[in-house]
C-alpha cells in the first residue's frame, strides 16, 4: 500500500493518534499513550481495512489486552462480521486453539440474524477451525 492510500485509510478510520504510529514498520501490539494498542483499537472499532493491514504487517492476533480480552472478543464486541472473520482466519492460519464453548455460542448468537451467507460462512469456518485443531493437536 502506498503512503497516500495508507494516510487516507488512517484518516478515514478515525485513528486517534499520530499516523506514523500505524506505519508498516510499527509494532501494532505495542502499548502507546494511555495504554492504547493499535490492533486492539482497530478490532474494537470494527475497522476491517486497518485490521487487515496490521495483520499483513505482523500484528499478533493472539495478544490480549490488560483485561484479558483478545482481538477476537474485541472484534465480536464491535459487531463487525468482516473483522471477526479476518481475525478468525488469521487464528486458523496460526493453528490457534478454536474458541471455547462460551465464545463459540456468542459468535453464533451474534450473527444468527445476519444474512444466510454470513451465518453459513461462520458455521463452516468454525467447523474448519475444529478440523484444523484436531489435525494439529491444538484443542
Ordered alpha helix ranges (H), the chain: 3-13, 38-45, 48-56, 71-78, 81-93, 101-110, 116-136
Contact 107/84 with Cβ under 8 angstroms?
A: yes
Contact 28/57 with Cβ under 8 angstroms?
A: yes
**What pTM does this model have?**
0.86
Taking all residues of the chain, what is their mean pLDDT, rounded to a whole number? 88
Q: Which domains does the chain have, with CATH numbers?
A: 3-136 (1.25.40.20)
pLDDT tens per residue across span 93-133: 999 999 999 999 999 999 998 889 999 999 999 999 999 99
Amino acid at each position: 500500500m502506498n503512503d497516500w492510500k495508507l494516510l487516507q485509510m488512517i484518516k478515514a478510520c478515525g485513528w486517534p493518534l499520530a499516523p506514523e504510529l500505524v506505519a508498516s514498520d510499527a509494532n501494532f501490539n505495542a502499548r502507546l499513550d494511555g495504554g492504547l494498542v493499535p490492533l486492539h483499537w482497530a478490532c474494537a472499532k470494527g475497522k476491517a481495512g486497518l485490521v487487515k493491514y496490521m495483520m499483513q504487517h505482523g500484528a499478533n492476533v493472539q495478544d490480549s489486552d490488560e483485561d484479558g480480552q483478545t482481538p477476537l472478543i474485541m472484534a465480536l464486541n464491535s459487531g463487525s462480521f468482516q473483522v471477526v472473520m479476518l481475525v478468525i482466519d488469521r487464528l486458523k492460519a496460526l493453528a490457534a486453539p478454536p474458541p471455547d464453548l462460551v465464545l463459540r455460542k456468542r459468535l453464533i448468537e451474534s450473527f444468527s440474524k445476519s444474512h444466510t451467507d454470513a451465518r453459513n460462512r461462520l458455521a463452516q469456518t468454525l467447523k474448519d477451525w475444529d478440523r484444523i485443531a484436531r489435525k494439529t493437536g491444538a484443542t
